[in-house]
Structure 1
Amino acid sequence: MRPHFHVAGFPVRLHPLFFLVALATGWTLISEPARLALWVGIVFVSVLLHELGHALAYRRHGCDAEIELHGMGGTTQAHDAAHLTHPQSAFVSFAGPGIGFLAGGLAWGLSQLVPLGAPGGLVDQGVRQFLWVNIGWGLFNLLPMQPLDGGHLLADLVRARGGYRHERAVLGVGIATAVGVLG
């Protein structure tokens, strides 16, 4: 499938289901079309930024990457990533949430320095949504369960330290985390 557009030289494919899920996650805003459109735009930019973080980390380690935005968020793949060491792969895993934390921190800092509209207004809500998506979702994404980035990060760190002999422990941590989240 051909890319729909490129960002920083990376091909990006965009599935329509991405926008349907973004609309569904903002369903409480359905009575306010401007706020719903703002939400969908923030989700699009934030998920793309997250995946761009992974892609840039792959590039740093000599891999070509491509980004796909789909119903479950996004995925960044590098076909030549087999040569990455476990610490390099861990860096790639953290780079997505990391760039979101950086963007969220910059948005928060800017909002503290410059008045960004009336409290409760469209701009104020946009800043709050941007912080929620980049900081809140980023923290959730770092939970140590796969397929989240935190699960990949934990697996890479364990493999770097002890090889593949602790795979069951990594899976156990992921299952325990999932049960905890569901509880």
Structure 2
Amino acid sequence: MIAEPQPTPYDLTFRIFRFPVRIHPMFWLTTLLTGQTSLQRESPLPLLAIWVAVVFVSILVHELGHAFAFRWFRADSRVCLYWFGGLATSNNPPGRPWPSIAVSLAGPGAGFILAAIVFATNRASGWSVQSLYTYEAYYQLMWVNLAWGLMNLLPVLPLDGGQVCRQLYRIGGARRSEEAALKTSVAVGAVVAAYGLMDYLGQPRALFNEIPSELRFQSLFTTVLFALLAYGSYQALEQLRSYSPWESSYDDTPWRRR
């Protein structure tokens, strides 16, 4: 899930702020699937279109945050949107831990800034109450950039929080920082998936009734996503344990291994 997908004839490509951007067709498909609840509401097609537009803008802003951070450290960068999100990659990324952490945090940070702009403009003009569609756009922009941004900071690989966790283990002098990061990813991913499943099933009700709705998943998609991330980290951990010290380094980040 951290590898850049192969180009297809159906990719949409363009440049923004001199960064090459490529949108894989699976990005549109998964975005439509995650917005399928719009089809159960009044005016389903316009609401679904708003959802797709919000996800596109939000994830593009997120990846541009990474891209600008790469540029700050004099590294080239390109952006690809695909599957459940996107990827900003570089051929010459910063190899030191602190710059790598800055690059990882720049993505969620850009999303938080976008949410702050949306919130401030709405407070100033009240544009969100003009119609159902403007309210939907406001709500979805705040949800995607805040809730997804915070979720992305969980120490689960290959999310940005997982990348930060890996670098913090390196800074802390962990003997096998990659192995420690993967163990953390497996544990946290499994706990989040279990939490999401229980919330989705509504059990135990006494527990989840006390949790604010903003902190509840109630989404089978989120549950499956974190279960897959935990399993992927487990597979990577088993593969890492099979490596000989002379064949691979425990401390290489994914972008340095490519």
1:38 equivalent in structure 2? 50
Q: Which structure: larger Rg?
A: 2
Q: How does 1:11-26 map to 2 (within 5 A)?
A: 11-26=20-35
Decide whether the 8 Å contact of 1:10 with 1:55 is kept in 2. Answer: yes
State TM-score, norm by structure 1: 0.93
Quote the Cα distance in structure 1 between the aligned partners of 2:20 and 2:177.
36
Determine if contact 2:154/2:162 at 8 Å carries over to the other structure. Answer: yes
Rate the CA distance shift 1:159–1:109 in 2: closer, same or farther, 3 A. same
Given that 2:31 and 2:84 are in contact with CA atoms closer than 8 Å, whether structure 1 keeps it comes out as no
How many residues in Structure 1 have an aligned counterpart in Structure 2?
Answer: 182
- In structure 2, what residue type is equivalent to 1:155? R
- The equivalences for 1:5-154 within 5 A come to 5-30=14-39, 32-81=44-93, 83-118=94-129, 121-154=132-165
Give 1:174's match in structure 2, choosing from 182, 185, 208. Answer: 185
What is the Cα-based RMSD across aligned positions, in Å? 1.7
Q: Is the 8 A contact 2:152 2:160 kept in 1?
A: yes
Distance in 2 (alpha carbons) for counterparts of 1:34 and 1:90:
39
Task: Kindly provide the CA deviation profile for residues 107-142 of structure 1, in whole angstroms up to 9, marking residues without a partner as x.
Answer: 112222221143771101101100111111001100
Distance 2:75 2:56 in 1: 24
Runs of 4+, deviation exceeding 4 Å: none
Q: CA deviation at 1:143?
A: 0.4
Q: Which amino acid aligns with 1:20?
A: L
Equivalent position amino acid for 1:153 in 2:
V
- Name the SS for the 1:130 alignment partner: helix
- Tell me the TM-score normalized by structure 2: 0.67
More divergent stretch after superposition (26-35 vs 60-69)? 26-35
Q: 1:170 to 1:117 in 2, by over 3 A?
A: closer
Question: CA separation in 2, counterparts of 1:30 and 1:3?
Answer: 26
How far does the alpha carbon of each residue in 1:4-36 deviate from its partner, in whole angstroms, 9 at most, with x for none? 100110001111111111111110112511111
CA distance in 1, matches of 2:77, 2:151: 24
Structure 2: state its 5+ residue gaps. Answer: 1-6, 195-258
User: In structure 2, the residue corresponding to 1:102 is in which secondary structure?
Assistant: helix
- Identity percentage of aligned residues: 37
Distance 1:175 1:120, change over 3 A: farther
Counterpart residue identity of residue 48, structure 1 = L
CA distance in 1, matches of 2:59, 2:182: 26
1:46 partner letter: S
**What residue in structure 1 maps to residue 237 of structure 2?**
none
Contact 1:90–1:156 (8 Å) recurs in 2? yes
